[in-house]
Structures are given as C-alpha cells and as structure tokens.
Amino acid sequence: MRREASILHLDLDAFFAAVEQRDKPSLRGRPVVVGGVGGRGVVATASYEARAYGARSAMSTAEARRRCPAGTAFLGGRFPAYRRTSDVVMELLRELSPLVEPASLDEAYVDLAAGPAGSDLSVAGVTALGARLKERIAAATGGVSGSVGIGSSKLMAKIASDLDKPDGLVVVPPGSELDVLHPLPVTRLGGVGPATAERLHQVGVRTVGDLAARSLTDLVTLAGRAHGSGLYALARAEDDRPVVAEREAKSVSQEETFERDLTDLTVLGREIDAMAGRVAGRLRGSQYSGRTVTLKLRRYDFTTLTRSQTLPQPTDDARVIASIARRLLTEAGTQGGLRLLGVGVSGLSLYAQGDLFAADDEPVAEDPATPDEAEEPAALPPTEVRWWPGQDVRHDELGSGWVWGRGLGRVTVRFEGPRTAPGPVRTLRADDPALHPADPPDWRSATIDPVEATGG
C-alpha cells in the first residue's frame, strides 16, 4: 500500500450495451441486453435500463427475457466495435502514464506515480485528473461513460470505482482505507464468490470488518492456506501488487462450488454452458483464443480430476468450449455427486474473431418491430443466409443500419447510425442480394450517409 493515492482504476459503465446505444440511436434510454441470443445464451452485459428489471451479466438469456419488458433489445456482440472504442480509451490512459494494465476491454489500472515528473498526486490533484479523464473519455467515445476509482493500491482503486457507478469518481485518501473497506459486504473482495461467501456467512462474517476480526488461523481453516491468507491480507487493505503494463496469460478458467453434490447431467450441462460463456467472454476481452479445453471435477469425497482435449485450431467460441466440456463430463461420469465443476481454456494465442454471440441454428422469429414500423412481406422458406440481431449491415439502396430481427427467411433492419436520428425499419428477404454485412460505423465521422439521413 502506497503513501499516496496514485493507482487509478477505470471501469467503463455497461460497456458493450453503451456502445450499442451509442451506435443505435433508437435504443438510447431503452433496456439493452448483449450476449448469446440463442436458447442457451448467456448475458455478457445489460444496460442500466435492463438492470432495473433484474437482468445482469452471467445470467441466462432466457431468464433475462423473462425479466425484461417487451421492447427490450437482445443483441449479439460486435467485438470489432468494442475493440475500436476500447483502443481509444486505452490510448487516453497511456497519456497519463506508461504503466497501464488492461484487465479487459472495459477495465484497466493506471500507475499515476509513473506519469510525468512533477505530477500532483495530492487528493485534490488526482481528483481533478480523474474528472478531466472522464470528460475526455466521454468526448472521445461518443458518450460512453466510465467510473474512476483512485487509491493507494489496486484493491482500493477497484473498490472505489464501484462505489458510485455509473459515471462515478471516488478517491480514497491515504489512511482512510479501512474506513471505506470495513463496512462493505465481504463479497466486494476479489476471490469471495458465492461458495466462499456462503461459508463466511455461516460463521457470521458478512462485512469486510467482520472478516478483519477473524484470526489468520480461522480463515486458513475455513478457506485453505492460500485463499485464507489472501483474505486476511485484503481485509486489512494490504495489497502491494504493482501495475504491470504487459501480462502474458497462460489460461482462462471459471469454476463453481455447489451447495449440494450434483449428479444430474442436465443441471451440470447448464452450469457448463454458463461457465463456457464467461470463459469465452474473458478470452475475447483479453484478445486471446486457446487450443486446449479442460474440465475440472471435484467429487463428493474431495478427489479432484481434470480432463482435457486439444483442438487443431484455437477457439474463443462458447459453444465449442461447452460442447467439449460436456463430452468430457459425460466420459468422466458423475458417480457419487460433484461438489465442484470448472471449465478452462489454455494454450492461448492472439485473439481471433470468432462467433461467441452468434444465434442458434434454428430460424426462430425474433423481430421486436411493431406492425406500423415494419413492412411485412409474405412468409418465405428458410434460407442459408445467416443474420443475427445487432449485426451491422448495408443495403445498396437503403443505406447502412443494423439487424433488428431475423427468422423464417426474413431479416428486419433498422436504418440508422450513431450520428443520425432514430431510423426507419424495413423487413427484407434474408437472401436479398442488395443486403450485405458491414463494418461497425465510425462514431467519430462527421459524414452521414445521405440515405440514412433521409430514412431511405
């Protein structure tokens, strides 16, 4: 822990959904859910309007649909658009310091002490710096907001960035760390997931202050030597981790410990699907794909097994990861019940665009357009052409837009862009030769497609 608040943590607010709302003016102020749009999809990000109805990341898309009102936009991911926006933000951070540690597309740490000589690292100085940074990010990204936390360690900076979301700025003055930390729920600490939280709750530990009152021996007994020692230190705001500009990831994994031993392959399969979605999202966020899929099992008697399969080509596709993990689970069996299940990907290489958020193969009608907006042609037979909600497209006559819905041989497109008014909706044949996939629109361009501007 440092003597000054010189570590900054930036967390862009509901990032994927915010980019979608920026590029699609008809969605501004409306609930938006980004993630898998098929029957087994997982939510990657929900806009704050959607969160008001209970939608959240890592929730199944089916559950999010049940919670959100009619008119909620469920969109597949557009990683080129997110990457382009993220790159703009990361460049702004590198103007503050050469030591910038991206944690994902929408999150990064900055070591302000490594910035220009003579930088003002007083509480007032870093507060002013944080306010200017937020203004610059909003201007450079077309309105995407970020929450900034600044503290004497990575732990305090990250916690601070979450205290006043969205669009917040919190500086934790040196010496006040425990005053900020101890009233918070213990789940605010990294490494305290649902299973650990449940064990802590059972012994009366609900806040970080409760955790700090426990001895090291108690926590090691409860959570194991490594995890217990880590919790003991974090509860005392002891965190000396440096900001590292370049990190080489070796693997990405996700695991869950169950409240009771599970044997049902259907239930376990759903757990695998959810974990595979999170792993794939983290791979994409860190620009990696991997060749080896690993399944981790812990049985009722605490014996732990791992099973792996190596692919000929790297993947970041949640469906591929889940399919392999499900098969590995079937081969390993669930005899006696499983206490823990984990899915991981290793053998990482540089990011390769995949299809994590693609729709399922079945032609399910998914068109939120109202009858007075869309011109419905007669039903057409299914076609081999694939479109997915949220996809950027361009029509030779009607201009640029995005897929509003698809199914049954049709595709509905809203023709608008980040610098236009909300645009008109048209329903076309899915095999219309004039309709093409397109690159994401550039929100920085002052040029507006004349066809978009007039509504086609």
Strand 146-151's sheet: what is its strand order?
100-104, 107-111, 7-12, 146-151, 169-171
CB distance 89 to 231 below 8 Å? no
d(CA 144, CA 7): 22
Give the sign of the dihedral formed by CA 257, CA 260, CA 263, CA 267: negative
| Residues 259-295: b if buried by 16+ CB within 10 A, e if exposed | eeebeeeeebbebbbbbbbbbbbbbbbbbbbbbbbbb
Q: The tokens 């899929």 sit on which residue? A: 293
d(CA 10, CA 243): 13
Could you tell me the CA-to-CA distances from 115 to 90, 340, 374, 393, 430 in Å, in that order? Answer: 15, 44, 54, 42, 53
Non-local (6+) Cβ contacts of 445 within 8 A are: 419
CB distance 55 to 25 below 8 Å? no
**Looking at 49, 107, 271, 416, which residue is catalytic?**
107
Q: Is 135 one of the annotated active-site residues of the chain?
A: no
d(CA 227, CA 189): 12
* Both tokens assigned to 79: 């990683």
Instruction: Give 272's DSSP letter.
Output: H
Could you tell me where the DSSP H helices lie in 121-234? 123-141, 154-161, 177-181, 194-202, 208-212, 216-223, 225-234
How many C-beta neighbours within 10 Å does residue 338 have?
A: 24
d(CA 427, CA 197): 49
Rg of the chain over Cα atoms, rounded to whole angstroms, equals 24
d(CA 384, CA 76): 19
CB distance 188 to 237 below 8 Å? no
3-state helix, strand, coil in the chain (%, to 5): 35, 25, 40
Task: Just list the catalytic residues.
Answer: 107
